[in-house]
Amino acid sequence: MLNNWLKSLSINDLNIDPNDLEIALQNITFYNKSSDDLTQIDLCILGIGSQSDSIRKFLYTYNEFPPGLRIMDLGNVRKKNLNSILPILKEISDSGLNLILIDADGVGPQLLFDHFNNQKEVFNPLLIDENFRTEESSFGLSFLNKKIYKCNNVSLIGSQIHKLNNQLSENYNRKSLRLGKLRTHKESIEALMRNGNFCYFNLNAIKKCDAPGKTGTNPSGLFSEEASQISRYAGLSEHLSTFMIGGFWHIESQTAELISQIIWYFIDGFSKRSNDIIEDDSSLQQYIVDIKEPSLSLTFVKSEKSGRWWFKVPIEINDQKGHKHVPCTYHDYQSACNEEVSDLVMDAIENQ
What pLDDT, on a 0 to 100 scale, did the predictor assign at position 140?
80
The residue ranking higher by pLDDT, 163 or 256, is 256
Residue 106 forms part of a structural domain:
yes
How many C-beta atoms surround the C-beta of residue 272 within 10 A?
Answer: 11
Residue 234 sits in the same domain as residue 339: no
Residue 277 forms part of a structural domain:
no
pLDDT above 80 (res 83): yes
Residue 279 forms part of a structural domain:
no
pTM of the model as a whole: 0.93
pLDDT grade for 161, boundaries at 50, 70 and 90? confident
Q: Over pLDDT 90: what percentage of the chain?
A: 58
pLDDT above 70 (res 1): no
Residue 129 sits in the same domain as residue 229: yes
Residue 183 sits in the same domain as residue 210: yes
Residue 267 forms part of a structural domain:
yes
Q: Are strands 153-159 and 6-7 parallel, antiparallel or unpaired?
A: unpaired
DSSP 210: T
Each residue of 177-200: pLDDT tens digit?
Answer: 999 989 998 889 999 999 999 999
Residue 215 sits in the same domain as residue 119: yes
**Structural contact between residues 111 and 149, judged by C-beta atoms closer than 8 angstroms:** no
Least confident of 198-207, 311-320, 326-335: 311-320
How many C-beta atoms surround the C-beta of residue 261 within 10 A?
Answer: 19
pLDDT grade for 285, boundaries at 50, 70 and 90? very high
Each residue of 46-76: pLDDT tens digit?
Answer: 999 989 999 999 999 887 888 889 999 999 9
Angle at 336 between CA 335 and CA 339, to 5 degrees: 95
Looking at the chain, list the stretches that DSSP marks H as alpha helix, in order from N- to C-terminal side.
2-5, 11-14, 52-59, 82-94, 110-119, 179-184, 187-193, 224-236, 253-271, 330-337, 343-350
Residue 278 forms part of a structural domain:
no
**Averaged pLDDT, 78-82:** 92
The domain of 326 spans 284-350
Residue 276 forms part of a structural domain:
no
pLDDT grade for 318, boundaries at 50, 70 and 90? low
> Of the residues 241, 271, 301, which one is the last residue of a structural domain?
271
Long-range contacts of range 294-298, CB-CB < 8 Å, 24 or more positions apart? 294/341, 296/341, 296/349, 298/336, 298/341, 298/345
Least confident of 40-44, 297-301, 342-346: 342-346
Residue 226 sits in the same domain as residue 307: no
What pLDDT, on a 0 to 100 scale, did the predictor assign at position 100?
98
Residue 201 sits in the same domain as residue 115: yes
Residue 303 sits in the same domain as residue 238: no
Residue 251 sits in the same domain as residue 306: no
Residue 346 forms part of a structural domain:
yes
Query: What's the CATH number where 88 sits?
Result: 3.40.800.10
> Of the residues 271, 298, 333, which one is the last residue of a structural domain?
271
> Of the residues 208, 239, 271, which one is the last residue of a structural domain?
271
Average pLDDT score over the chain: 89
Residue 318 sits in the same domain as residue 176: no
Burial of 34 (0-12, 13-18, 19+ CB in 10 A): exposed
Q: How far apart are CA 104 and CA 188, in angstroms?
A: 30
Residue 230 sits in the same domain as residue 265: yes
Contacts of 245 (CB under 8 A, 6+ apart): 100, 101, 102, 103, 200, 201, 203, 259, 262, 263
pLDDT above 90 (res 155): yes
pLDDT grade for 258, boundaries at 50, 70 and 90? very high
How many C-beta atoms surround the C-beta of residue 250 within 10 A?
Answer: 11
pLDDT above 70 (res 35): no
Strands (E), the chain: 6-7, 28-30, 43-48, 71-77, 98-103, 125-128, 153-159, 173-178, 198-202, 242-246, 284-291, 296-303, 309-317, 320-328
Number of domains in the chain: 2
Residue 121 sits in the same domain as residue 175: yes
Residue 312 forms part of a structural domain:
yes
**Averaged pLDDT, 22-42:** 78
Residue 248 sits in the same domain as residue 298: no
